[in-house]
Amino acid sequence: MPTTPKNRRRSARLDLRIPVRIYGRTPDGKPFRDLTETQSVNAYGTRVCFSHLVTPGQSVLLVHGITEEEKECHVVYVQPEKRGKWQVGLEFVRPNGNFWQIFQPLQYAELDTKAHVE
């Protein structure tokens, strides 16, 4: 599919497995902690597999398993997986910094058409 402004991602997606902990509440209000790993990451969030059901719009706390850095996230999608698990897309509430500690920034560079070298 050709890339258009409508279907272009805001950031490159990388298939990286990074250990994470996720803290939140189930739809009935019970607290949970999920130990899992990322399936893919980008500058704005991650895709993970949960063992607890969450709902789109719900807030969760994501903790990087190596650096222990924390990020507040919103659930942006939930899809059923095998064996009672859920594939979940998380978006950072504040997508600043280099949460994933990736050398090359994941964000798209904005091209300034007025900039030039003299």
Cβ proximity of 71 and 92 under 8 Å: yes
Its pTM stands at: 0.79
What pLDDT digit, counting tens, does each position of 20-72 carry?
999 999 878 899 999 999 999 998 999 999 898 899 999 999 999 999 999 99
Closest listed residue to residue 37, CA positions, set 54, 22, 17? 17
Residue 62 to residue 85: CA distance in whole angstroms: 18
Q: Rounded to 5 degrees, what are φ and ψ at 116?
A: -155, 160
Domain assignment present for residue 86? The answer is yes
Residue 2 has pLDDT above 90, yes or no: no
Domain assignment present for residue 108? The answer is no
Domain that holds residue 45: 19-59+66-92
Q: Which residue has the higher pLDDT, 104 or 82?
A: 82
Mean of the pLDDT values across residues 80-89? 92
Residue 103 has pLDDT above 80, yes or no: no
Domain assignment present for residue 49? The answer is yes
Pairing, β 19-25 against β 59-64: antiparallel
- pLDDT category at 76 given cuts 50, 70, 90 is very high
Q: How many domains does the chain contain in total?
A: 1
Domain assignment present for residue 46? The answer is yes
Question: Which residue type occupies 97?
Answer: G
Residue 89 has pLDDT above 80, yes or no: yes
Residue 3 has pLDDT above 60, yes or no: no
